[in-house]
Amino acid sequence: MREIVFDTETTGLDPKTGDRLVEIGCVEVVNRFPTGRNFHVYINPGRSVPKEAFDVHGLSDEFLADKPRFTDVADDFVAFVGDAQLVAHNASFDMGFINFELKATGRVTFGPERVVDTLMMARRKHPGAPASLDALCNRYGIDRSKRIKHGALLDAELLAEVYLELTGGRQAGLDLSVSVQSASTGVSGGRVALPPRQTPLPSRVTAAEAEAHAAFIAKIGEKALWNIYLSESEQAETA
For the annotated catalytic residues, the residue numbers are: 150
Please give the Cα distance from 129 to 113 (Å, whole number): 27
The distance from CA 27 to its chain's CA centroid, rounded to whole angstroms, is 6
Short-list 125, 163, 142, CA closest to 28: 163
Q: Which residues make Cβ contacts (< 8 Å) with residue 59, sequence separation at least 6?
A: 9, 22, 23, 42, 49, 53
By three-state DSSP, how is residue 27 classified? Answer: strand
Closest CA to 153 of 233, 41, 71: 41
Taking Cα atoms as reference points, which of 87, 71, 112, 111 lies closest to residue 27? 87
